Structure formats: structure tokens, C-alpha cells
Structure 1
Amino acid sequence: MSAALPRVGPLAARAASIAVVVAAVGLLPWLAGRDPALSVLRARAGEQDPTREALDAVRRELGLDAHPLALFGDWLAGAARGDLGRSWVTGNVVLPSVLSGLGASVTLMAAALVVALAVACGLCAPTVLRGARGLPRRGSGATAAVLAAAPEFLIAAVLLVLGAVWLGWFPPYGWQGPQHLVLPALALGLPAGAVLGRLADDAVAPVFAERWVELWRSWGCPPRTVARAAVRRALPPVLPQLGLVVAGLTGGAVAVEVVFAVPGLGRTALGAAESQDLPLLQGAVIALVLLGAGAGAVTALLRHRLLGPALRAAALPVPPPVATGGGRAPLVVTAASATALAVVVGWGLLREPLRLDTTVRLTAPSASHPLGTDGLGRDVLARVGHGALATIGTAALVCLCSLLVAVALGFLPGVARAVAETANAVPPVVAGLLVAAVTGPGAAGAALAVGLVSWPPLASHAAALVEESRGASHTEAQRAIGASPLWTLRRHVLPAVAGPLARHAVLRLPGVALALASLGFLGLGAAPPAPEWGVLLAESLPHVERAPWAVLAPASALALLAVLAVASATALGGRTR
């Protein structure tokens, strides 16, 4: 077997991803395939004819007539000095706008992190308390898993309806005081806390089955001491994931800022992308990437300090994961959620999704419109049903392409891991912004953006399967008796990789569909009037106070999809993480 390439460390992967994003952002005006001078002219004076003289004047003013690489070098040098240029739309300096958005985003992420840590502690506390007293673990963590699978924009929409519209406890929009921070922090922190809580719960549960716990109890150690030691023992496998969760808050904050009109970096970047204000988009995207990388670095430093010299030096074995598959409950939940989703989609497909009737705008659910109507009088049930074809069908195509890429890269394990770690460090929203800036918003661009960041888990899995299959005794025996490498690959290695990897790709399907819906919600995917689930949520949010059912219908469909994903993974005994 050929030697695998050395594995690239997390710091090197993060640095490589930042370098790639910086290069892509710096070359955005030319990667887009459009004349930057024309974009500037339209941003400044949309009614002016783009004559050759006018375009030449803009090029001379901004230096756009130079070679792209020279301009990229000038932009990079200016960015290193803190000079991000001037907005093409307003003519204002970009840096103050970016810093203002950065302050709002950092505040939101800090509050969300507090919520996430509180939720994580609450989820794993029962297991710790019961384990310290020698009692068996209760529950399978299904609630946490479903919450972790739900995208932030979906939770934000539900919280907006419940907390601001129905209960009236919090303001729905704005950024004027602490009361405006509650709902955005909950929307961003709840799924992150569910991820951390599920990881911590799975890590700490098997610790109480280790021999030293029984020995400590026989010595008469109080449960509080045993619990503290068990949590300390479970920290090593959990703390590395904290950095990924904190860095993931960067991408989730974009959707949350849009829902609650928070003037953060994500909303700034989306506005710049819509207006083709490339200097402002460049500055906002660079700040988003650096914010995510900085959050990961701070978390790594915190992990280094929390573990202490003893645990840093010790190579403690990772506790075996607690089995989550099996049993009838996951199968029942899978069947129920699949049946409910199939009924809604099938019923909606029988109706017309684009027929307008302004006389029934924003009407409540009735016999003629079971899920009500939207702001243009269109049937919500019909749009949810037809939107499933666009959302889930595109997700299936993305999963298939990701599967093929993973199989190809899996036979180069060193390359697969290095490239996967680099791609994994780029949030999906950042990929969506970059692709939309190059190709323009659209369903194809959203599929490309999600595809660019959805294959790394499959590639890492494929690399592990290939190494395991190549090292198996029967494979070694085939080579020893003179079997050709191609025959061994076709008859032994490929079948051992294809089956598990295909099942993994199927379990990734709902997550990819939710990612596509997220980009559609942000305006980076399919455009109205396409009945895509993310587009439906974006269209309905302005009318949430008058017609909350128009928001809850696509939100419920997405929630059913998340439940189906988690229940399927649990029933098959796998994890989608």
C-alpha cells in the first residue's frame, strides 16, 4: 500500500482556507465575469447610459484598467493596512461600516455562546447527576438531536412568531437595547447548545462505566467529587468540538441577523451582494472569515488552559460512544414523520402553486385553503408541496455529486483529509456569498455553494473506509497470491467503501436540503416566485404579525425534515454529525 500523505493540522487547514477565501474575495470583480466599471456606474447613477467614455472615466478613477493581479496586490496591501477601499454605491469608506457590523455580530455571538453553554449544561446535567449516584442513563437525546439538526433561520422564524407575535414578550425587530438581543441569541444559541449538549452527554455517559468510578465509590467518595472527576475525564474529546461550534456561529448569525434586522456583518454582506457593492462585500466577507477563525483560535486556547498540563500530556483513550440505534421508537418516529411529510407534499402537489387571487390575501386556514394563503393570495399548501420537489430534489443531486467526489478522493486518504479540513473551515453562508457574487443568486449557484462544503464529511469517511479495507487481512492475502491492484480495488476495496458511504450520503440528504433552504431564505438561492421552502419563509416573514400560518407552514415542513433526518440516523444506528 502506498504511503499516505501527511495529515495537515487544523491550524494549517484554517490558514489555507483563509488564504483561499482572501484570494477569491480579492478577485471577485473579475471572477464575476462582469465589467467592474459597469457595476460602479450603475451603482452611482443607474439612469446614466454606460457609454464607452463614461466607463473609461470610472476605470481611470478607480484604477480598474490595470492587470487583475496587480489590482489584487494593491487591494491586499490596502487590506493589510486596514484600508478596504470605498463603497461603490455610497462612496463611503468601507472600514467603519465593517467595524460597526462586527461589533453587533460579536455581541450577538457572545450572547449566543452564553445560551449555548447553558443549554449544553442543562442537557448533560441529568446524565452526570445520575451517573455519579450509580444510576443508569435515561433518554436517548432525541430532543437535542432534532434541535441541533434545525437551521438557525428556522428556529428564528418560530421564535419570532411565538415570542414576538403571539406572546408579545420581546420586540420582533431592531437593535436598540438588551431586550432586542434575547430572541436572536436564543435562535443562534439553542442549536449550538444542543450540539454541545449531545456531544457532552455522549462523552460523559460511558465514563461512569469505567473501573476507577467503582473504585472511588467503594472508597466513599461523595457523588459531587465523582461527578466533577467524570466531567474532567470527558473534556478531552468534547472541547475540540467547541471550537467548531463557536466558529459555526458565524454562519448561523447571518440568517439570524436577517430575520431580526440586526445590523451585523452578515446583513451587511447580504446587502452588499444584492447591490453589487463589491468593496463592501469584500470587507464584510473577510471580517466574517476572520471572526470565525478567531473564535476557533480563542476556543483552542481555552481548551489548552482548561485541560492543564496533566491532561495535555496524557494520551487518554476516548470513551466509547453510547449506542443510540435500535429499538422501535426511532422506527415509529421515522415512519410518522415520513408519512406526515408525504401527506403534506402529496396534497400540495395536487394544487396550483402560482395562481394569484388578491381577494383572499393572507386568509386564515379554511376548507378551500387548508394552510391559508400568502401575501399574494397564493395557496400555501400548494407552494409547500411543490417546494419539496425543488428543495429535496436539488439536495439529492448535491448528495450524489458529493458522494462521487468523496469516492474519488477517498482513495487518496492524505489528500482527502487535508482538503476536507480546509473546506470544512468555510461556513456555507460564506460559500453562498462568494458563489452568488460570481454567478449571481439562483438555484444553481446555491446548489454549487452547498456542494462545495457538503462533501468533506463524506470524503473523510471514505478515506477511513479505504484505509481499513486496504489493511484488512483478506486484502493482504489477495495481494500475496498475485492479484492485480485493479482487481483488488474492483472486487474488494470499492464494494467495502460504496455501501457504507451511500448510506451516509442518504443520511446527509435532509441536512443538505436544509442548507439549500437557508440560502434560499437569505436570497442567495432560488428567486421568487419559485416555491422553494426557504423562499416561502422569506416571503412570509414581512406578514408574520398578520398571517403567522404562512410562516409556520414551511417552518413545520422543514422541522419534519429535521425530525426525519435524526430519526432515520438513530434507527440505522448512525450519526449525521
Structure 2
Amino acid sequence: MRRQVTALVWRVVLAAALVCGVGLLPWLSRTDPALTVLKARSADRDPDPEVLAAIREQLGLDAGPLHLLTRWLGGLGRGDAGDSWISGTPVLPDVARALGASLLLMASALAVAALTAALVCARTLRLGARRGLGGRRRGGTGSAMAAALPEFLLASVLSTVVGVQLGWLPALGWYGPAWTVLPALALGLPAGALLGRLLDDLLPGAFGEPWALAAAARGLPGRRVARQALRRCVPALLPNLGLFVVGLTGGAVAVEQVFDIPGLGRATLQAALAQDLPVLQAGTLALVLLAALATGATRLAARLLTGPALRDGALFSLHRPAPPGRALPPLLCGAALLAVTGAGLVRDPLAVATGQRLQAPSAAHPFGTDALGRDLLARVGHGALDTLLLAGAISAAALLAGVLLGLVPRLSGPLVDTVNAVPPVLVALLVTAVAGSGTATPALAVAAVAWAPLAAHTASLLAQERATLHITATRGLGAGRWYLLRRELLPAVLPSVLRHALLRLPGVALALASLGFLGLGAQPPSPEWGLLLAENQPYAERAPWAVLAPAAVLALLGAVAVTAAGALRRPPRRHRTPVPGTPPTGRGDRAGRKTLAGVG
């Protein structure tokens, strides 16, 4: 009980710090909120001191930020979040409508993600149902490229091709269920591909457990075994599913911008840009509450699916030693990516030739030219150098932070929930307000949130691994915590977390590109990938190669990441007796079962 109270207090403190930090945004930015409000209300009016003083008095800005926060929190107790500084209308009805639109979009995107994940795992499930063991999945390049597709680019392509050119579905606005299909596809396909890869990574271990082998030997229907294997693997992914719920609600800003959806992410972004403090506070509070509800629901679902086995230490390890995968596919994909980057580096990315605007790919310009006649291969190559190095550095730092914080779930759990409630776009706005806009803004914003999924994954896998039979037996024979962590737990969990980090490497690059696309990162004429997509997106219908070139390189990065992740496996260890009184641990649960048999 004491631990639960401490965790609750820690969550409340973090949530309060987050809301206060957002509430102090106008003062952190060292700008006058009254000037921003005046420009939003009447751009043509001169900002003379008398007008600004009247706005400050009307909004209560002269009383200071502490008074504003206290008054706002007191109003929440009465069900009043205040009035918008820009429109003067009550905040709660507008935020509630935006939240309703985002929740509908999120539910539709989750349905698409679930279907996509099922398609990614279909081959492993079919093989496991037939043979009783999953084996090691091969291929998966298609799912890698789907996971690496930029959401905003996919939204632009679907809107232009399916909505405008073909006219199959509405492409703009938010007037009913038909308007949710295209944005749900844009959000759900990449998320489902990533979740499918993570689930597909665990399924072979479930099909190799004794219950699955016994069920196959007794001739039980393969579909029943496959359903139980899914039930066995899903609890390890539920923390990440909770992160996706909040990310699809508050982080879908670019997709909401493309399809003109009045969602919560877009409303929060517009409020932050306009320094409309009441709307910004209410939107952030809604995201924090949604994160708390999603986290609580996923933890309850994990307990219900796992049952008492997690408490009693009666699980088997899903992380079995296996020979390393083939290194040829990642080498080929990596060579192709290096070839594109190298070919672009020898060209001038800033050379303007207005007579060669929007030319199609040719021998002189293999990727074509942009709206200013600049060579796209050169811009993609020079942008790749910065983007890949930055994404790699952020991914490595996120992996290290995620593993370390995942080892202490009581500390990291509430922190993960709080961090996940803030989309990278809002973090970028906070960074921009304090440090100004520039190339470092997206890096700081993405690095601030990139560790959260890895920490949640690490904590979830460690919780299940600690409940396995061979860990229970080894602990019973006198092994200490440090020995178990160093020799058993980390070797079992780290390969999966490292594969997860590799699968998220394109996502880090996409997040950097998304912030550049929204104008929160590098500025022209930088060849940064997000800026390339933002500059060329208006010409997608006339010159599709202008956006397909950087998108193809992003997809190639996804192929490199997923094939490299597939080649990372926990290698078989030789039989050894590390310390007196502890069992050999060469084959995971098999050693635990032998030890228990010997003790009995």
C-alpha cells in the first residue's frame, strides 16, 4: 500500500510540474503575451503601450504567472478552465470537441494498426499453428518500409491520390465516419507495422514453450494454439500500446493539419503558437489524463492476460537463445543507403537553376529537381548525412536511458506516463521558446521523449523474465540480484530491446522530419529531410518524385533497421557453472526445469 501511495504522489508531482511548465511558456519565451494576443486579435492595430496595458489588465497578466496558475487550478475545481485569450469563448467546450475528434481518429487508427499488425504476424502464426513452433521469421522488408513511412507524407499522398484524383473518399474536413478513413490509414499503417514487428519478435518463443509443444503433439487445433500464443505475447507489448494511444491522440498534429481535422493535437499546437494559455493548459491536462487512463487500462489488461503466473514465478522465457540471423540483407540495404548518400555528397545541394525547375529524373538528375531547379539527389545525400548521424546518436542515447530507467520501474513508470503525454511537437515548442529555433530544436525535443517506449518495453520484459522458472530456481539456490541481472536478465532482455531501438531508428528520423515539416527545425536552404518534404509537398501532384525521393530513402532506412534487428539474436551460450550452487544456464528455461527436478 505504501508503494502505491508513493507512486501516486510521484505521478501527481510530475503531472503538476508538466502543467506548470506549460503554463509558464509565455514567461519562459521572454516575450510579452499581450503583444502576441494583440497580433492574434487584430494584426493591423499598432501595439502602443496603452493597448498592451489594457490587454494585460483584462487577462490578469500583471498579477504574475503564479496568480494565473492558482486561479486556473481553482477554476478547474468548479468545472471552469477559463476563456480563450484569443477568441474569448469558454475553453472546455472547444477542448472537449477537439478531444472527441481525436479519440474517434485514434480508435480508427488503432483498428487499422491492429489489422496491419495481424498481417505482419500472419506468416509466423500460420507456421506456428501448423508445426507447434514459430521458428525465426525471415524477410519483413515490406513491414519495415511501412513503419518508416512518414505519417504526414502518407497523409499527403492519400489525400491527393485517393481523395482528390480518384475521388473515392473525402480528403478534407471532419464531417462524419467517411472522413476518418484516410487519416486513420495514414496514422495506423506505420504504427501497426511497428507493433507487428515487435509482436512477431516474441511469437517464436511462445510457440517453443512446453505447453505449445504439448498441444501440438496432442493434435489440438492450430488456431487455438495460435490464439494462446498471442495471449502469451501481448502483455509484454501492452505498455507500448498505451504509449501509442496517447501518441495517436496528441501527436497526430501533421496528419490533422493535412486533413484539416479539428483534433486535440492541432488545437494544442495552435494554442501554443498563439500563446493562448488557457487552451494550452486544458489541452495538456486532457493529454495527461488520457495517458493515465491508457496506462492504467494496459496494466490491468496485462494482469488479466498473464494471471497469477507473473506473481508466482511460473512463466517461461520468451527470449530463447538462437543462432544469429543472416548479415547479407542488412549489408545490402546499408550499401544501397550509403551509395545514395555518397552519390549525393559529391553534388552541390544549393545550386539553383530556375530553367530546370521540377524536372523528372534523368541521367543528369537521377532523383529529379525541386521547385528551384536544385538537384534532389544532392539535397537528399547532404540531408542524409546530418539526419542519419543525428538519428543514430539520439537512438543510442534513448537506448541507454531506456534500459537504465527500465531497471527501476517504480521511478520510470510515472515518468514514462508523463513524458508520453507531451507530443514531440509541444516539446519542440518549449525548446524553441527557451532556446530559439534551429537545427538543435528537433534533436532536443525528440531526445526528450524517445527513451520512453524503450523504458516501458525494458520494464515489461524484465517483469516477465523475473517471473520465469529458471530465475526462480536460480534465486532459490542463492544467486544475488547483481548476478541475476548481469548473467540472466540483461542477456535475455537486451537483444529484444536493442531490436526495438533499431526498429524505432526510422521513427526517430521521422520525428525529426516531422518537426522540420512543421517549420520547427532547420530553415531554408538546409537540405534536412523534413524540410525537403515540406518544401516539395505542394508539388506532390505535379512532380511526385520531389517527395518520393526523400520518402524512398526513409523507407530504405527502415529496411536497414528491420533487417539489422532481425539479425540480432541472443547467441547460444556454452554450458558453464558460473558460481558454486547455481545451475547451468545454457538453455534458459530448460536449465531451470533441470534444476527444479534435481531439487525435487
TM bin, normalised by shorter chain, reads 0.7 to 0.9
Shift of 1:526: 1.9
Instruction: Write the distance in 1 (CA, Å) between the matches of 2:498 and 2:204.
Output: 30
Q: 1:216 to 1:505 in 2, by over 3 A?
A: closer
Q: 1:239 to 1:567 in 2, by over 3 A?
A: same
Shift of 1:389: 3.4
Q: 1:45 to 1:158 in 2, by over 3 A?
A: closer
Counterpart residue number, 2:112: 115
Match for residue 521 of structure 1 among 517, 526, 537: 517
State whether residues 502 and 561 of structure 2, in contact with CA within 8 Å, keep that contact through their aligned partners in structure 1: no
Shift of 1:460: 8.5
Q: 1:221 to 1:444 in 2, by over 3 A?
A: closer
Question: Amino acid of the residue matched to residue 471 of structure 1?
Answer: W
| CA offset digits 1:33-77 (Å, max 9, x no partner) | 212222222323334443333322221111101132111111222
Shift of 1:112: 0.9
Question: Amino acid of the residue matched to residue 133 of structure 1?
Answer: R
Counterpart residue number, 1:326: 324
1:243-262 equivalence runs, <5 A: 243-262=242-261
Q: 1:443 to 1:282 in 2, by over 3 A?
A: farther
Counterpart residue number, 1:104: 101
1:36 and 2:33 aligned: yes
| CA offset digits 1:178-214 (Å, max 9, x no partner) | 4432221112112222233334333343333333334
Q: 1:559 to 1:85 in 2, by over 3 A?
A: same
Q: 1:552 to 1:137 in 2, by over 3 A?
A: same
| CA offset digits 1:117-154 (Å, max 9, x no partner) | 22233333443343233255363363435534545334
Instruction: Write the distance in 1 (CA, Å) between the matches of 2:205 and 2:259.
Output: 41
State whether residues 258 and 522 of structure 1, in contact with CA within 8 Å, keep that contact through their aligned partners in structure 2: no
Could you say what secondary structure the match of 2:369 adopts? coil
1:47-446 equivalence runs, <5 A: 47-134=44-131, 136-137=133-134, 139-140=137-138, 142=140, 143-160=142-159, 163-164=162-163, 169-303=168-302, 307=305, 315-321=313-319, 326-328=324-326, 331-396=327-392, 398=394, 419=415, 422-423=418-419, 426-446=422-442
Instruction: Write the distance in 2 (CA, Å) between the matches of 1:507 and 1:200.
Output: 12
Counterpart residue number, 2:585: none
Could you say what secondary structure the match of 1:471 adopts? helix
Shift of 1:253: 2.1
Instruction: Write the distance in 1 (CA, Å) between the matches of 2:372 and 2:288.
Output: 38
1:512 and 2:508 aligned: yes
Instruction: Write the distance in 2 (CA, Å) between the matches of 1:324 and 1:76.
Output: 55
Could you say what secondary structure the match of 1:365 adopts? coil
Q: 1:472 to 1:309 in 2, by over 3 A?
A: closer
Match for residue 452 of structure 1 among 445, 448, 451: 448
Could you say what secondary structure the match of 1:338 adopts? helix
Could you say what secondary structure the match of 2:102 adopts? helix
Instruction: Write the distance in 1 (CA, Å) between the matches of 2:160 and 2:93.
Output: 34
Instruction: Write the distance in 2 (CA, Å) between the matches of 1:228 and 1:409.
Output: 32
Instruction: Write the distance in 1 (CA, Å) between the matches of 2:516 and 2:104.
Output: 26
Could you say what secondary structure the match of 2:97 adopts? helix
Instruction: Write the distance in 1 (CA, Å) between the matches of 2:78 and 2:204.
Output: 50
Consecutive unaligned residues in structure 1, runs of 5 or more:
477-497
State whether residues 133 and 208 of structure 2, in contact with CA within 8 Å, keep that contact through their aligned partners in structure 1: no
Q: 1:403 to 1:347 in 2, by over 3 A?
A: same
Q: 1:309 to 1:430 in 2, by over 3 A?
A: same
Instruction: Write the distance in 2 (CA, Å) between the matches of 1:8 and 1:392.
Output: 43
State whether residues 526 and 532 of structure 1, in contact with CA within 8 Å, keep that contact through their aligned partners in structure 2: yes
| CA offset digits 1:102-123 (Å, max 9, x no partner) | 2221111111111122223333
Could you say what secondary structure the match of 1:65 adopts? helix
State whether residues 194 and 503 of structure 2, in contact with CA within 8 Å, keep that contact through their aligned partners in structure 1: no
RMSD of aligned residue pairs (Cα, Å)? 4.2
Shift of 1:565: 2.1
Q: 1:161 to 1:388 in 2, by over 3 A?
A: farther
Match for residue 16 of structure 2 among 2, 14, 19: 19
Counterpart residue number, 2:482: 471
Shift of 1:561: 1.7
Q: 1:534 to 1:410 in 2, by over 3 A?
A: same
State whether residues 250 and 427 of structure 1, in contact with CA within 8 Å, keep that contact through their aligned partners in structure 2: no
Could you say what secondary structure the match of 2:289 adopts? helix
Count residues with an aligned counterpart. Answer: 544
Could you say what secondary structure the match of 2:522 adopts? coil
Instruction: Write the distance in 2 (CA, Å) between the matches of 1:219 and 1:72.
Output: 65
State whether residues 109 and 187 of structure 2, in contact with CA within 8 Å, keep that contact through their aligned partners in structure 1: yes
Question: Amino acid of the residue matched to residue 38 of structure 2?
Answer: L
Counterpart residue number, 1:557: 553
Q: 1:42 to 1:220 in 2, by over 3 A?
A: closer
**TM norm structure 2:** 0.76
Q: 1:83 to 1:184 in 2, by over 3 A?
A: same
Q: Select between 110-119 and 261-270 the one with higher mean Cα deviation.
A: 261-270
| CA offset digits 1:377-404 (Å, max 9, x no partner) | 3332232222223323443554576688
State whether residues 402 and 452 of structure 2, in contact with CA within 8 Å, keep that contact through their aligned partners in structure 1: yes
Instruction: Write the distance in 1 (CA, Å) between the matches of 2:55 and 2:423.
Output: 34
**TM norm structure 1:** 0.79
State whether residues 7 and 417 of structure 1, in contact with CA within 8 Å, keep that contact through their aligned partners in structure 2: no
Instruction: Write the distance in 1 (CA, Å) between the matches of 2:145 and 2:103.
Output: 27
Q: 1:438 to 1:543 in 2, by over 3 A?
A: same
Could you say what secondary structure the match of 1:445 adopts? helix
Q: 1:361 to 1:77 in 2, by over 3 A?
A: farther
Q: 1:51 to 1:15 in 2, by over 3 A?
A: same
State whether residues 376 and 546 of structure 2, in contact with CA within 8 Å, keep that contact through their aligned partners in structure 1: yes
Q: 1:338 to 1:108 in 2, by over 3 A?
A: same
Instruction: Write the distance in 2 (CA, Å) between the matches of 1:157 and 1:562.
Output: 20
Could you say what secondary structure the match of 1:524 adopts? coil
Question: Amino acid of the residue matched to residue 107 of structure 2?
Answer: A
Counterpart residue number, 1:484: none
Shift of 1:426: 4.0
Q: 1:437 to 1:301 in 2, by over 3 A?
A: farther
Instruction: Write the distance in 1 (CA, Å) between the matches of 2:387 and 2:40.
Output: 33
Q: Select between 59-68 and 203-212 the one with higher mean Cα deviation.
A: 203-212
Shift of 1:348: 2.4
Shift of 1:225: 3.9
State whether residues 254 and 266 of structure 1, in contact with CA within 8 Å, keep that contact through their aligned partners in structure 2: yes
Counterpart residue number, 2:584: none
Q: Select between 74-83 and 539-548 the one with higher mean Cα deviation.
A: 74-83
Could you say what secondary structure the match of 1:133 adopts? helix
Instruction: Write the distance in 1 (CA, Å) between the matches of 2:519 and 2:6.
Output: 35
Shift of 1:94: 3.1
Consecutive unaligned residues in structure 2, runs of 5 or more:
467-478, 488-493, 571-600
| CA offset digits 1:389-424 (Å, max 9, x no partner) | 332344355457668878998999975676566545
Question: Amino acid of the residue matched to residue 250 of structure 1?
Answer: T
